[in-house]
Structure 1
Amino acid sequence: MANSPTHSDSPPTATTGWSTLHRHHIGIDLGGTMIKYAVVDTAEGTLTTPLLQLPTPVPVTPPAVAEAFGTLIHQLSSRPHAPHPGASVGVALPAIIRRGIACSAANIDEAWIDLDVERFLTDRLDRPVHVLNDADAAGLAEARYGAGQGDAGRPVTGTVLVITLGTGIGSALFVDGKLVPNLELGHLELGGVKAETQASAVARERENLDWPAYAGRLQQYLAHLEFLFSPDLIIVGGGISARHEDFLPHLCLDTPIVPAQLRNTAGVIGAARHAYLAAPIRE
């Protein structure tokens, strides 16, 4: 078995600690239309099952989602490389999460707001559940296993900023490997309007912008972030990152900027990583 991680985002360990022995966790990424899920080897950041999907229930209420989660956990538990029955589950939610409580709800039912999601899902699923914001989950995966590894195969030190370009703009910030949670940088205002209304992937499609014109929007936005945070690396994700050669070369920043690597698996991998880090030591 591979050695347990020793960098700053590792949980405390004991000589025969349960968390060091059980590195497989279920990761779930709740989206507005689809739920993505898989079993993840958190030592390697790889999937031990295919990336699976099922439709998000409508309406996206907590009880309906809990029922869907129960179904997929039962399904995964019967597969090879299934996690230990006591292994915690990681869930990425489109919400601001503070100490397990949802403080917002994007494309999900407002019944999630003010709900202690970790307690609710732990009780419903009869196993430990740990939740985090979906952009934070994707960032956690990229920083630990993806583009944040750098050329030497070790996590980039200093400040790493992960930006996802999609319907809006998601963001995750890491300082020496530690996540600064719930950083909603898509809501920064540029020219009196929210940045994500001008520089998201959907904004490019809506306004039929060519790549140089879109890169100009991103240049203004990312240069502002560069001034605010002085990052050592910027990682650009979201589906549009598959076309990074069409717009990244048009940018002129002092900070190195690279495309994300994990694509649509990032949220699932990051959720499982969060579950691993949050899992208690059991001897």
Structure 2
Amino acid sequence: MDNPSDINKILCIDIGGSHIKATVLDTKGNSSKDYQKIPTPVPASPENLIKAIKTLVKDFPEYDHISSGFPGFVKDGTVFTAPNLGTDLWKGTDLQKLLKNTLGKDAIVVNDADMQGMGVISGKGFEMVITLGTGFGTALFKDGFLLPHLEIAHLPVKKHTTYDQYLGDKAFEEEGKDHWNKRLKKVLGILNTVFNYDFLYIGGGNSREIDFKLDENIKIVSNRDGIKGGPRLWLQDKKALSKK
């Protein structure tokens, strides 16, 4: 087991439905490599994705640990669902082990909204993060600690329609910006009622399309801020281990 002092430079990878983004950060979130991205391969099989990641990071500076966010349900580094990449391709894939074996460093893999949330939360109270991109991502935090992941995206927001289908990229393209914003207003009201969060953060590429005034306890955040969750995953992991 590594000591926290052994964690210095973290390769942070954000895997999305349209792009794979990466950088190298220290434990304070300072970058030693400009934020880089490449298109997510099609089909986005484990083999193709790993090949793309290797291409993306081949000229990156040295790093000693890896953090990665993946768009699906991930438990102990293993992918169970990948609705926007292909669950049939990914179900049962130990991406954490695959990254470690490929790149030669210890890795932590979590849901992409979970990792992004770690990069933007204040660490005070009950905080929620949603991401508006290819699909609809969510993450929950209590006093800065990541809570067990819930795939809210797969729940029905109305009959026969999940949150993913209601607010994802496809819905934005088919319904248009105005109708999509009306849908988002409705969903924000539901989330506030159900979770009664202290603060909500909204990330993902489509967050820039929001055209209505948000409540004071809601903030739009960038993917560049979110990727800073990579180092925090390792620091939280070590704090949890030290209490066992």
RMSD: 2.8
Matched, 1:119 2:103: no
Is the partner of 2:105 in helix, strand or coil? Answer: coil
Residue 40 of structure 1: how far off its partner (Å): 1.2
Alpha-carbon distance in structure 2 between the residues aligned to 1:205 and 1:74: 35
Deviation per residue, 1:173-214 (Å, 9 max, x gap): 11111112432223332332323433446534421242xx54
Equivalent of 2:174 in 202, 206, 216: 206
Contact 1:137 1:266 in 2 (8 A): no
Residues 272 and 229 (structure 1), Cα distance of their counterparts in 2 relative to 1, 3 Å cut: same
- Residue type of the partner of 1:227? T
Matched, 1:92 2:75: no
Residues 239 and 108 (structure 1), Cα distance of their counterparts in 2 relative to 1, 3 Å cut: closer
Residues 197 and 116 (structure 1), Cα distance of their counterparts in 2 relative to 1, 3 Å cut: closer
| 1:1-283 superposed matches below 5 A | 18-20=3-5, 22-43=7-28, 45-77=29-61, 82-83=62-63, 87-109=64-86, 110-143=88-121, 149=122, 155=123, 157-192=124-159, 193-200=161-168, 202-210=170-178, 214-244=180-210, 246-247=211-212, 249=213, 256-260=217-221, 263-278=222-237
Contact 2:8 2:26 in 1 (8 A): yes
After the TM superposition, list the runs of 4 or more consecutive aligned residues in structure 1 that deviate by more than 4 angstroms. Answer: none
Count of aligned residue pairs for this structure pair: 238
Query: Which structure has the higher relative contact order (CA within 8 Å, separation 6+)?
Result: 1
- Residue type of the partner of 1:75? D
Residues 51 and 22 (structure 1), Cα distance of their counterparts in 2 relative to 1, 3 Å cut: same
Alpha-carbon distance in structure 2 between the residues aligned to 1:164 and 1:41: 24
The two structures have a TM-score, normalised by structure 1, of 0.72
Alpha-carbon distance in structure 1 between the residues aligned to 2:104 and 2:167: 42
Deviation per residue, 1:3-24 (Å, 9 max, x gap): xxxxxxxxx9xxxx84235432
Contact 1:29 1:134 in 2 (8 A): yes
Alpha-carbon distance in structure 2 between the residues aligned to 1:133 and 1:92: 5
- Residue type of the partner of 2:101? D
Alpha-carbon distance in structure 1 between the residues aligned to 2:173 and 2:82: 25
Alpha-carbon distance in structure 2 between the residues aligned to 1:131 and 1:257: 27
Alpha-carbon distance in structure 2 between the residues aligned to 1:117 and 1:46: 26
Contact 2:120 2:225 in 1 (8 A): yes
The two structures have a TM-score, normalised by structure 2, of 0.83
Deviation per residue, 1:98-142 (Å, 9 max, x gap): 111111123335332112222232223222111111111111111
- Residue type of the partner of 1:104? T
Alpha-carbon distance in structure 1 between the residues aligned to 2:104 and 2:171: 42
Residue 96 of structure 1: how far off its partner (Å): 0.8
Contact 2:81 2:91 in 1 (8 A): yes
Contact 1:136 1:181 in 2 (8 A): no
